[in-house]
Amino acid sequence: MKSKNLSDKILRSVKSKGFKYIELPSVIETNHIVQRSGESFRKFIFSFTDQTGNELCLRPDLTIASCLRYLENNLKGKEKIFYNGQAYRKSQNKKDSIIRDQVGFEIIGSHDEKNDDKEIINTSLKSLKNFKYTSGIITIGNIEIFNLLISKLDIPKRWKLRLSRHFWRENYFNDLLKRLETNSDVDPTIVEVDKKRYLRMLKEDQSTIVASRTLKEILERFDKKIKDPRRARIGKNISKIIKEFLKIKCPINKAAKELNKFFRKNKINLVVDQNYFPLSKKKISKLNVVFSTAFGRQLEYYTGMVFRIDIKSKSKTINCCNGGRYDKLISDLGSKKQIPAVGAALNLNF
């Protein structure tokens, strides 16, 4: 179904919604990708070293290229932009193409979060009219709700940060939950030894440098760990609550009801209004709309609303669109302040 004709139709559709066309660089600095996704992601990118010794790569992701453009050109305020082109990424599946043809569109620098989220989804839906399909599903998630839940749980701060930071790494996240359940990382004997060591170090010169840090800095962190232990009996219950939360899946029009029922059952001081979600109808045209608390674990940089559109065409299920909010991405790339951003990309490789 990939064709220039389809791409042109989608570009016209996006432009009609008030987005401005931009060109993106095909080559970016490798460290921008590796810092975001980790060294393990390096095997999926096409990298090389230029004549000055800098490591560069073909862009594996158009969103990061777009955010770098906003940052490096010192742009200010709201931008509604769209672009098309190819992303280059290796795959573990030998049948997958290394070239991904996409049309992307974003709203950057706007603080009208809920309306911007709706506009990105509505633009995706309008573009979808250029595809031939019989049925489909829009899956919507929200990582912000997960982080709000974690903030309310009775676990140490370091564990809250750990669970929020690694939500997108599903296998590692599940390992963390096992550690919560079994307290396998808590050794009472070692805790007592550490406390004695702490008391001994308090009597020493606080300006002494150990492993690039002063004793004072080490003891401040140590003090928090001693005063903020994870109670063994609570770990199993916390893991159970998180697992139950991640099983919530329902039509989008019942999302607030199901979430609030869960919060009441577990005595969590949170309430969600149905207007919080960018869509409220359980069916739009030929698409069923569902909410899933476990959805949104594909990319590290998502921070809020996330969505995916899958359609059925000629008896095949095709993932044709993905998007979401990534308010921290530009600051992670080097901006001194956090800049709101939300966007989506349409896949043309099928």
Cα separations (Å) of 252 from 235, 275, 290, 295, 311? 31, 11, 5, 13, 18
The pLDDT value given to residue 187 = 46
**Whole-number CA gyration radius for the chain:** 23
List the chain pLDDT tens, one digit each, 350 residues: 456 787 888 999 999 999 999 999 999 999 888 776 667 678 889 999 999 999 999 998 899 999 999 999 999 999 999 999 999 988 877 777 889 899 999 999 999 999 999 999 999 999 998 888 899 999 999 999 999 999 999 888 888 999 999 998 888 999 999 888 876 554 455 456 666 777 777 788 888 887 667 878 777 776 665 554 455 567 889 999 999 999 999 999 999 999 999 999 999 999 999 999 999 999 998 999 999 999 987 777 899 999 999 999 887 898 999 999 999 999 988 888 999 999 999 988 87
Terminal alpha carbon distance of the chain: 5
Query: Is residue 306 a contact partner of residue 325, using CB atoms and an 8 Å limit?
Result: yes
- Give the Cα separation of 155 and 229 in Å (integer): 8
Angle, CA 266 vertex, CA 261 and CA 267 arms, to 5°: 95
Q: What tokens does 128 get?
A: 């979808």
d(CA 67, CA 65): 6
DSSP state of 265: H
Question: According to the model, what pLDDT value does residue 296 have?
Answer: 84
Domain 4-149+242-347 has CATH 3.30.930.10: yes
Instruction: Look up the pTM and report it.
Output: 0.82
Domain locations in the chain as residue ranges: 4-149+242-347, 198-229
Tell me what pLDDT residue 223 has. Answer: 65
DSSP string across 91-148:
-SSTTS-SEEEEEEEEEES---HHHHHHHHHHHHHHHHTTS--SEEEEEEEEHHHHHH
Nearest to 15 by CA among 130, 123, 131: 123
Partners of 283 in the beta sheet? 288
